Structure 1
Amino acid sequence: MIEENIQEVEPKQKSFKVKFNKFLNYISLTTSGMAIGMFATLIIGVIIEQIGSLTSFDFLIGMAKVLKSLMGVGIGVGVAMGQKKYSPLAIISFGVSGALATMVVSLRDGSLVLPFINGVQTNSNPLMPYIVVLITMFFYDLLFKKKTPLDLIIIPLFIATIAAIFSFLLCFPLTWFVFTLGNFVQWATTVQPLLMGSIIATVMGMILTAPISSVAIAVAINLGGIAGGAAAVGCSVQMVGFMMMSIRDNNAGKVISVGIGTSMLQFQNIIKKPTIWLPTIITSALLGPLSTMIFQLQTSKEGAGMGTCALIGPLTTILEMQDNLLMAIIGVLLLMIVGPALFVFLIDLLFRKLNWIKKGDLAI
């Protein structure tokens, strides 16, 4: 009797594992598409904006604004193309759904209603278009199994309508989620410096790598000063750290894209194997307190959530600490560049010897 029960349970367990692995692969594939879409729009826009600011070239700054505004489109197209099964019409329509997800239309008067936290617009949160695009893809797969003569009209109309509805429904719950994360980070600024540095560096770094807008949170809670410096260190650790870890499995272009673009390019691999996140998390927890207690790095709220993306984190820290320029330069070099590279490299080396991380785990 017992043997029969065991035999019945085993197929169910195997079935659950297969389904769970399929789900993880799906999330990994779609977040990879999201990261690529973000990189081609938002991240490239940030890099061009930084170049424009440094050179006082207004054309580049204007160009950057357009690129950044296309984030939703990029995410929609990136996620859809990653599935390798949709028609060009559907892919473009999913891009439109991503764009709609960055704004909400009021049911009352048809005006645009953008989500705000403490007066800061948070429609730049990549989580919103990502989720909305997944929902529209689900309904598309459910209903459009066969081609019809009216596809050219029906598909864009259907996808846009579904995207608009769910953008409205999910906008404020997702804004509340970001707000809650912001409140936690804000609470961390009130604890003693050692703990504050460790918590803020770790949490903000993880938010940067996850599909959540670390910049929106930093600006919304006015995360500047010493707390902002710890956040900048944590974000830099994620990017420089994953850049170092990526060297074994990727070409130079992809490695550089992680280092000065976004560490979110590795999020697909984190979904598959969470262990690869530990070296950067541990390093953030170690270097954060050094920032708050020894170097006392300070940065602006705009630079706190950027990390080494276009070198904004290091540059804003140096600009913010003009009164103590030497300490700023030393601190930035040690805690945002050299320290993360060295510590993550050593921890990664240890994890590889323990077989916790293997070759190919960080392939993009």
Structure 2
Amino acid sequence: MIAFLKRKDVSLRPHDYFVTALNFMALGLFSTLIIGLIIETIGKQLTMLPNFSTFLIDMGSLAKTLMGPAIGGAIAFGLRAPPLVIFASIVSGAAGATLGGPAGSYVAAVISTECGKLIHNETKVDIILTPLTTVLVGFSVATFIGPPIGGLMTYFGEIINWSTKQQPLLLGILVAVLMGLALTAPISSAAISLMLGLEGVAAGAATIGCAAQMIGFATTSYRENGVGGLLAIGLGTSMLQVGNIIKNPLILIPPTVAGAVLAPIGTMMFPMLNNAAGAGMGTSGLVGPMMTLSVMGFTGTVFIKILLLHFVGPAIISLVLSEWMRKKGYIKFGDLKISTER
């Protein structure tokens, strides 16, 4: 059995299912739901160009509806499935999303992909049995497992949303820190946010925590990485620092503290709201700020809040703390240098 699974590239390793699959799920989400929301938001603001506005809104709406199929195909691709399984997993992801939301889509895609890989090239009617097995397993999982999984994640997310409103200080800090660390770690904070359905002040706190990690690392590592690193980390991903964190975990302190300090300000003093699509993205591609604007409105006040809590605040707090740690020898020059080799 072990030899068979190895031959089929079915590892059963948690890393494949909770790191790789989630990361590729995030790519599927970004390519459909998130980019669709961005396009739709832009379209709604271009009221002076009604025809173009309608064009963008229709485009964004269509992109959003394809979330499930994109998750299925992306996860299958990430799990190194053969083409027949990848294309059939599109159906699995669609079924999972319809019956169990993003979480249902994830579960249906993962299980059907691995089952499809097992049957692939084992018979002379592979072109029929491989997609048949993948679709059958995916739809079955979506039907019987998707709803309870999706319901559980939604319920858990509702508890987080409600609790953050009741205890904005403690829960705001906790949500910001945990989501920020998830964004920097090799797992997908965007996928987690969407599966939980974060919204309101909880999503606002999560956005602040994620932005603090990205802007914080971008600022504190500027002397090692220059403008290129500043943009790659600040608008790309703080995940570029994972290798450095393993070498010196102390470099996590400045951006994490920044998120913990700013989160209560965003939940109590100057309430910041967001939706699930923007909560786990931080400043990556400016999705977090863009979704904040779409929820709170395109006003000067909101722009100032975003500037202070997503950009200026994290930069100042992280830089001050990191400079102190450098003077104390906790962080040394080169500790934040990102590799350009891939």
TM over 0.5: yes
- Does the alignment pair 1:353 with 2:331? yes
**Paired residue type of 1:39:** F
The within-5 A match list for 1:154-165 is 154-165=129-140
Larger deviation: 24-33 or 341-350? 341-350
Within a 5 Å distance, the mapping from 1:224-303 to structure 2 comes to 229-238=204-213, 240-241=215-216, 266=239, 280-294=255-269, 296-299=270-273
TM-score for the superposition, normalised by structure 1: 0.66
Maintained 8 Å contact 2:26/2:190: no
Q: Residues 335 and 273 of structure 1: is their aligned pair in 2 closer, same or farther, counting only changes over 3 Å?
A: same
CA contact (8 A) 2:73 2:89 kept: yes
Q: Which residue of 1 aligns with 2:4?
A: none
Q: Distance in 2 between matches of 1:60 and 1:260?
A: 24
* Partners of 2:316 and 2:242 in 1: CA distance: 22
Q: 1:174 aligns with which of 150, 153, 160?
A: 150
- How much does 1:286 deviate? 1.1
Residues 270-318 of structure 1: CA deviation (Å, up to 9, x unaligned): 9x96958765543221101223444x23446689837541632442476
Give the 3 Å change call, closer, same or farther, for CA 69–241 of structure 1 in structure 2.
farther
Q: Give 3-state SS (helix, strand or coil) of 2:123's partner.
A: coil
Corresponding position of 1:93: 88
**CA RMSD between the two structures:** 4.5
- Matched residues in 2 for 1:253 and 1:65: separation? 34
Aligned partners of 1:179 and 1:217 also within 8 Å: no
Q: Distance in 2 between matches of 1:267 and 1:160?
A: 36
Alignment check: 8 A CA contact 2:34 2:64 kept: yes
Correspondence list, 1:116-195, <5 A: 123=101, 125=102, 127-144=103-120, 146-171=121-146, 172-191=148-167, 193-195=168-170
Separation in structure 1 between the aligned mates of residue 93 and residue 35 of structure 2, nearest angstrom: 18
How many corresponding residue pairs? 309
- How far apart, CA to CA, are the structure 2 residues paired with 1:23 and 1:44? 29
Which residue type is aligned with residue 29 of structure 1? T
Per-residue deviation, 1:72: 2.2
Distance 2:341 2:17 in 1: 17
Uncovered stretches (5+) of structure 2, i.e. residues with no partner: 1-10, 48-52
Change (3 A) 1:157 1:278: farther
SS at match of 1:68: helix
| In structure 2, distance between residues paired with 1:273 and 1:26 | 22
| DSSP-derived class of the 2:197 partner | helix
User: What residue is the counterpart of 1:309 in the other structure?
Assistant: 287
Q: Percent of counterpart pairs with the same letter? A: 28
1:209 to 149, 171, 189: 189
Q: From the two aligned structures, give the one with the greater helix fraction.
A: 2
User: Retained in 2: the 8 A contact 1:198–1:285?
Assistant: yes
Identify which of 31, 43, 48 aligns with 2:34: 43
SS of the residue corresponding to residue 353 of structure 1 reads coil
Q: In the alignment, what sits opposite 1:65? A: 61
1:5: which partner in 2? none
Separation in structure 2 between the aligned mates of residue 303 and residue 92 of structure 1, nearest angstrom: 25
Give me the whole-angstrom Cα distance separating, in 2, the residues matched to 1:354 and 1:170. Answer: 49
CA distance in 2, matches of 1:362, 1:346: 27
Query: 3-state DSSP class of the match of 2:115?
Result: helix
| Alpha-carbon distance in structure 1 between the residues aligned to 2:13 and 2:271 | 44
| Aligned amino acid, residue 67 of structure 1 | A
- 8 A contact 1:303–1:316 mirrored in 2: no
> Deviation per CA, 1:226-257, whole angstroms, max 9, x where unpaired?
x665455345435545666898789969956x
Aligned-partner SS, 1:136: helix
Q: Determine if contact 2:215/2:234 at 8 Å carries over to the other structure.
A: yes
- 1:81–1:360 CA distance, 2 compared to 1 (3 A): farther
Q: Deviations over 1:167-214 (max 9, x none)?
A: 1232223321331232133123213x5335424544565598152234
Partners in 2 of 1:72 and 1:92 — Cα distance? 13
Note the C-alpha offset of 1:331: 2.8
Q: After the TM superposition, which of the residue ranges 175-184 and 277-286 deviates more from structure 2?
A: 277-286
* Alignment check: 8 A CA contact 1:30 1:83 kept: yes
Contact kept, 8 Å, 1:269 with 1:361, in 2: the verdict is no
User: What CA distance in whole angstroms lies between the structure 2 residues aligned with 1:98 and 1:204?
Assistant: 25
Please give the secondary structure, in 2, of the residue aligned with 1:212: helix
CA distance in 2, matches of 1:358, 1:58: 45
Q: Is the Cα–Cα contact under 8 Å of residues 99 and 129 in structure 1 kept in the other structure?
A: yes
